[in-house]
Structure 1
Amino acid sequence: MSQLRTSPNPDLARVAADGYELAVRYGHLVITGVPYVNSRKEVRLGTLVSDMSSISGDVTASPVQQHVAMWAGEHPCDASGVPLRYLQHSSNEQVLGPGLTVNHSFSSKPAEGYRDYHHKLTTYVSMIERHAQEIDSNVSARTHRFVESDDADSPFQYPDTASGRVGITNVARKLQLSRVGIFGVGGTGGYILDQVAKTPVREIAIFDDDTFLQHNAFRAPGAPSAEELRALPKKVHYFAGIYSRMHRGIVPHDFAISEETVGQVGHFDFAFICMDPGTPKRLLVEHLERHGIPFIDVGMGVELVDDALTGLLRVTTSTPQKRDHVRDKRRISFADGGKDQVYSSNIQIADLNAMNALLAVIRWKKLFGFYAADPTSEHYATYAISGNHITNEDKE
């Protein structure tokens, strides 16, 4: 979510100019103070809510297909207390965010569809409030009160209408963490960044001292130009430049992890480790454990066998509640030099990097309640390419 400016949106500017209490909340357009009649023939005030799926960047488009609206309050009735049947769609409580719970949804669509959001919002308001005005001619939704939208401090550059469109804004809020770290953005780490940048994490700190080279382009998300590759950017600056277009809190750190620098990484609500085995990884893991920070370490071992590739992808989860498996079962390698056998060829393929990243991100989202999970969920999972099998181990 972000502050939706009315200046490039004449339809929203007209809604505000007309005096309606318009705000943007949790990726939805909200008009408060709408008079309606309840079943007891009492005049009350309700809230009209519309998703913002017909928007590109911060500019609205015609909501021709998005004709459904939501309502917080009792079901509106006519002046006799009879429910407005022509509005009825469904009735069930849905939390869109703290302080914004809707009770009903309406479905009313003109033959030609709604021209813009002004047409949609004011049409619904008119259908509801005119019955209240039959009882009290002084009531109106045009209060001309100032209403401040609550999303001006959003981590996003433009509203998250995807969550609002499917009604999961309150679920997405579970990922509103203060700071998430991604260590290594070469292959898998780049895809993890791609996914985390689409969540409301306040700050995403990315760490890598390597340069983004031509071979990296073939296993990273996106499509860098030849000019970008010739500039030899640091990986963290290259990715920060891309994802800062969408997410405000991308902070690049272009130093390697060492005894001298590990103390500079700071605190995190969560961390992803996408580094090769070795002393730097051991130092980082010890730092995270010492500060009680949960993390996921990823890895892949891909080999060329009989002119075809095979191997495993790995996701190791470590939380303050369960860390013993990391060393007792050697779930994370800290070996220097030749690295473990599964890493010896260091073959990386973009689709496997992406899948390794997605498995890690899904596990992270389960930890924070975005996805439902078994309370004793796995802390070690592998995906076997040849058999298409996922094996889950090390449960609590």
Structure 2
Amino acid sequence: MSRSVISLNPTLLDLRNQGFELEVREGYLVVHSIPYLNAQGEVKLGTFCCPLDLVSPEVVAAPATHVIHFIGEYPHKHNGEKIAAIEYQAGPLPLTQTLTANFAFSNKPQGTNGFTSFYDKVWHYTRILWNEARAAAADVTPLTYKVVEAESPDSAFQYEDTASARYGTTALNGIFTSQRIAIVGLGGTGAYVLDAVAKTPVAEIHLYDLDKLQQHNAFRAPGAVSREALDAQYTKVDYFGHLYSAFRKHIVPHCINVTEVNVDELRDFDYVFLCVDKGDVRRLIYDRLADSKVVIIDTGIDVIRTEDNQLIGTARVTMSLPGQRDHVFERISMADGNREALYKAAVQIAELNAINAQLAVLRWKRHCGFYYDSARELNATLTTASNKVVNSEQLP
């Protein structure tokens, strides 16, 4: 992946053709073998790292920041003084799972607000360090013409995740990379769960649902379902699996409902998002996974009609952990109720599905440690009438 991004972008290709050792790793442009002098006047080789801003996989944008990160000792002048003009921040500064910078440098070209290209940015900082190193060793050069292979060819995504690098969350993404996720039910809520989970670097996402994609599903699904897709009578898992496979790898459709025959497959997952509206399926899953290590994140929506013919919706998220499952049967009905019929009839409630899914994904991410979690709740319910989320039961 690294070499293809470089080859497709002239501003990066020019740097590589001039001899720079370039790599694109986890959304960062990494430039190796930058000569500099340390405090003892010794010539060393450092590494520049900067978030790679891409408009698309084939178009590089201008750098969003003039700051650049550096792996190495602090650079000095040939007279022994620190290069104070670039001093900005000292580390360690974790950037990704495999990149930790020692320093961040800040230095803009005179009379500008920043850099118009990565070509200019890399050369600007290179000259500052290289000029001092050449004063001590005339033959030292950053232009080695060495090609650096990508170190993360098994990325979960079909193209580079530059958003995480740009906003400094790449290192946190390591929380997800080994996780295997199952989503049971690809109705309105389950499809929105997939939409959010697909944008994280989890190892695998498995989809369980036997139902076909039908016209009423289109009014609750993320994105826009085409008439052709409805006419084709795809199953939900095949449709959404194919749709999101354009974005990421390792999405596995299972065109089956969860039954007594296959429910034990769910024991192999780290997290199971339960987005079903059938009480008997819910009961089966909780009974069979009761002694497992699986974390279950259960979603649910209720809709009632007021006397004024308005709707009141509730979106519930319940988390069930090993050793913390007793609250489930107090908070979740294991039977199909009358209000479910109204929920099915009220098609214009995609926002309820979406917010139910996002609350579930937030619960997962807070439990993982991606987001700080002070509430530590096991159950949360949002009511549209008051626009409030009420938490109940807490982790010890």
* Global fold match (TM > 0.5): yes
Q: Whole-Å Cα distance in 1 between the matches of residues 391 and 204 of structure 2?
A: 30
Structure 1 291/51 Cα, relative in aligned 2: closer, same or farther at 3 Å?
A: same
Matches within 5 A, 1:114-125: 114-125=115-126
Q: Whole-Å Cα distance in 2 between the matches of residues 303 and 294 of structure 1?
A: 30
* Farther-moved stretch of structure 1 (313-322 vs 137-146): 137-146
Matched letter for residue 95 of structure 2: L
Structure 1 139/340 Cα, relative in aligned 2: closer, same or farther at 3 Å?
A: same
2:258 matches 1:257: yes
Deviation at 1:341, TM superposition (A): 4.7
2:372 matches 1:372: yes
Does the CA-based 8 Å contact 1:92-1:103 persist in structure 2?
Answer: yes
Deviation at 1:149, TM superposition (A): 1.7
Secondary structure of the structure 1 residue equivalent to 2:281 = helix
Deviation at 1:112, TM superposition (A): 8.4
Deviation at 1:118, TM superposition (A): 2.9
Equivalent residue number for residue 272 of structure 2: 271
Equivalent residue number for residue 157 of structure 1: 158
Matched letter for residue 337 of structure 2: D
Unaligned runs of 5+ in 2: none
Equivalent residue number for residue 352 of structure 1: 352
Matched letter for residue 42 of structure 2: E
Matched letter for residue 367 of structure 1: H
Matched letter for residue 289 of structure 2: L
* Farther-moved stretch of structure 1 (361-370 vs 77-86): 77-86
Q: Whole-Å Cα distance in 2 between the matches of residues 15 and 130 of structure 1?
A: 18
Cα deviation code 1:238-262 (max 9, x no counterpart) = 1112111111111111111112232
Secondary structure of the structure 1 residue equivalent to 2:193 = helix
Q: Whole-Å Cα distance in 2 between the matches of residues 288 and 123 of structure 1?
A: 58
TM-score by length of 1: 0.91
TM-score by length of 2: 0.91
Equivalent residue number for residue 24 of structure 2: 24
Matched letter for residue 368 of structure 2: F
Does the CA-based 8 Å contact 1:174-1:370 persist in structure 2?
Answer: yes
Unaligned runs of 5+ in 1: none
Cα deviation code 1:102-146 (max 9, x no counterpart) = 132223344385453333223321221221111112322223334
Q: How many residues align?
A: 389
Does the CA-based 8 Å contact 1:300-1:313 persist in structure 2?
Answer: yes
Cα deviation code 1:75-121 (max 9, x no counterpart) = 32221232323323333432112341113222334438545333322
Q: Whole-Å Cα distance in 1 between the matches of residues 385 and 243 of structure 2?
A: 34
1:313 aligned to 312, 315, 318, which one? 315
Secondary structure of the structure 2 residue equivalent to 1:150 = coil
2:385 matches 1:386: yes
2:337 matches 1:340: yes
Does the CA-based 8 Å contact 2:35-2:141 persist in structure 1?
Answer: yes
Deviation at 1:362, TM superposition (A): 0.5
Matches within 5 A, 1:110-259: 110=109, 111=112, 114-259=115-260
Deviation at 1:271, TM superposition (A): 0.9
Matches within 5 A, 1:75-90: 75-90=74-89
Deviation at 1:3, TM superposition (A): 6.5
Percent identity of paired positions between Structure 1 and Structure 2: 39
